[in-house]
Every structure is written in structure tokens, then in C-alpha cells.
Amino acid sequence: MKSLDLSVVVPLYNEEESVRLLHERISEALRRTDLRYEILFVDDGSRDGTLEIAAAIAEQDPRLRVVEFRANYGQTPAMAAGIDLARGTVIATMDGDLQNDPGDIPAMLREIDDDTDMVVGWRQNRQDRLLTRKVPSWIANKLIGKVTGVPIRDNGCSLKLYRASVIKRVPLYSEMHRFIPAMASITGARVKEVPVSHHARQFGASKYGLSRTWKVLLDLLSIKTIIGFAQRPLLWFGLLAMPFIVASLISLGAAIAPLFTPDGTLILPFAGTGVLYGALALFLLMGGAVGELVYATGNVDLTEYSRLSAVSRMERDDE
């Protein structure tokens, strides 16, 4: 089996108007290069004609594979499936709504070299509403960059390219697709940003809204727990316990203080809060210990990642 240079993975959900055009644009952009490529459309249980149209195109184009899901599982599983099946040494992912321009792919592909495992798009002059989309996304990007330590200016852009050997190792589940660069950074992958063009939505309705903010915030905390303190959960929980240890000490101090004055008595409510905060701190530390257990018995071996990145470096030196 010849290996391919590039796999383009596109999750599709109810995009019947876009599919044909999308396929044309991708093919057009890649045909001009001499890349050996394949396209993977992952139909995420669409309820319109997306699958039929995609299947019809696949009959004509041997370079297109269409993956049919049994139900609607979400964007991350769709990407994960595409990435699992992809055969290219580089995998590109993009949205199926034509907001990304496949014409950017060849330029991005050139950026994947010795020092870069991952290239993410950075949408220039975004065609979205200012107040409901751009401002929240600006704040979100700042926050995500700060928390994850991977300062990307545009996490929402789904046009991204990855070295296959890296991305195939990154656990993708739930709604992780927003945080793939951050997740990949655990493996030691290095990221570069490239400006890409952005088009307004032509067909269909946007599938996102402001309501997801709370979910994203919680996800962000999960990510912080996972990547920031990978293999050191006790440290992370210890950090969380710190303010409560302080609160406990202050409370206990306030409770005991009157004892040092003549005819003073212990202030019971303060003693109560002090004990409670102390108990909470202890609970958190024990939680951290359970976290250590989880890592010890789980099947993610993070040292494997460091070995992996060392190997991929050597391979690249060989080329």
C-alpha cells in the first residue's frame, strides 16, 4: 500500500447543500498540486440527503471515502473516526460548512516540517456577527490560551493540519475537538499558526450559539486538570486545597483568639467553619490521591508520549 501525503477529514452533519461544492473546492485546491491525497467525509448521522449525495460523489471519485455513522454522535467522534481511518502522513481537518477555504491547505502543508507537528488556521476578517460571535470568541481564545498554555489566537477555526503519527495518539472524546491543539501539546507536539481566509456561511444555519459558554468553561477546567497536571493530580488537588487550608487556619485562629484574653471563651461557630474547611482541604488531598490511583491503573502512559516525540524527531532527522 502506497502511503498518501494528505488525508482531508471533513465531518458532515446536515450539509446537503454544501457537500458537492465542498468536494469540488477541495479537489480543485489539491489537484493543482502533485500531492497524493484522499478525502474522508464522515457523515455524522445526517437526517437530510447529505449521505446520499456524498455516496454518489464517492462513486465518481476514487479518492473520496464516505464514512457512514449509525447515529449522530457529535463532531469530535466524527473527527476521531476520520483520523482513525486516514492513511495520509498528514491529516487535515475542516468544517463542512464552506466557511474554510481548502485553497489554504497546500500552504499550510508546507509549514509542517522539522519543527512543526501541527498547523492551525487563523481566520482573517471573520464574517461573523461582532457581538454574539467575535467578542465571545476573543475572550474564549484568551482564556483557553492562558489555561492550556497553548496560546492560539483562533481555537474556533477547524481548518487544522496534523502530523498523523501525532494526532492518532491524542485521545479524542466528548467535545474535545475545540481543544485538540492543547491535547496534542501533551504529546510534545509543536504548533504554528497560519492566517487563512474565512467565508460567511452560505447554506444552512450555524449549529452553535452562546449557550455553550458554560459547557466550554467546564471543559476548560477538565482540560486543565488533564493536561496541566497530567500524572501529578495530587499536586493539582493540593493547589485547589490551598485556599481552604488558609480559610481553615484563619477560622480556627479567630475561634481560639479570645482564649488569650481574660475570661474569653472559644467561639464555637468559627471553630465549626474552621473544621469544615479543614475537612474539605483533606478531602481534596485525598481526591488527589485517588487521582494518582486512576493514573496508575489507567491505560494512558504519558511517558510513552515523550518517547514517541523523541522517535519522531529522529525519523525526521533521517529524512
- Interacting residues with other proteins (CB under 8 A): 1-2, 45, 54-55, 58-74, 76-78, 80-81, 85, 87, 171-175, 214-215, 218-219, 221-222, 225-226, 233, 237, 240, 244, 267, 269-270, 272-273, 276-277, 279-280, 283-284, 287, 290-291, 294-295, 297-300
CB of 12 to other proteins, least distance (A): 13
Contacts of 183 (CB under 8 A, 6+ apart): 170, 171, 172, 176, 223, 226, 227
DSSP-assigned states of every residue in 136-160: HHHHHHHHHHHHHS---S-TT---E
Q: What is the dihedral of CA 274, 278, 279, 284, to 10 degrees?
A: 140
Q: Which one, 94 or 172, has the nearer CB to other proteins?
A: 172
Paired strand residues for 231: none
**Rounded least distance, CB 217 to other proteins, Å:** 9
C-alpha cell belonging to residue 274 = 474552621
Name the residue nearer to other proteins (CB basis): 174 or 202. Answer: 174
Residue among 80 and 196 whose Cβ is closer to other proteins: 80
Which CB atom, from 136 or from 228, has the smaller least distance to other proteins?
A: 228
List CB contacts of 156: < 8 A, sequence separation 6 or more: 123, 137, 140, 141, 178
- Residue 263: CB minimum distance to other proteins, A: 16
Strands 118-123 and 160-163: antiparallel
Instruction: Check: CB of residue 204 under 8 Å from CB of residue 18.
Output: yes
Q: How far is the CB of 193 from other proteins (least distance, A)?
A: 26
Compute the least distance from the CB of residue 66 to other proteins, in Å: 4
247: which 3 cell numbers?
A: 480559610
* Least CB distance to other proteins at residue 174 (A): 4
Rank residues 138 and 283 by Cβ distance to other proteins and give the closer one: 283
The residue among 40, 42, 43, 88 whose CA lies nearest residue 64 is 40
Residue closer to other proteins by CB (options 60, 125) is: 60
Instruction: Please give the C-alpha separations between residue 49 and each of 14, 53, 205, in angstroms, as whole numbers.
Output: 8, 6, 16
Whichever of 133 and 169 has its CB closer to other proteins, that residue is 169
Least distance from C-beta 289 to other proteins, angstroms?
10
Provide the minimum distance between the beta carbon of 114 and other proteins in the complex, in angstroms, as a whole number.
28
Q: Which is nearer to other proteins, 70 or 200 (CB)?
A: 70
As a whole number of angstroms, the distance between CA 295 and CA 183 comes to 16
3-state class of 293 per DSSP?
helix
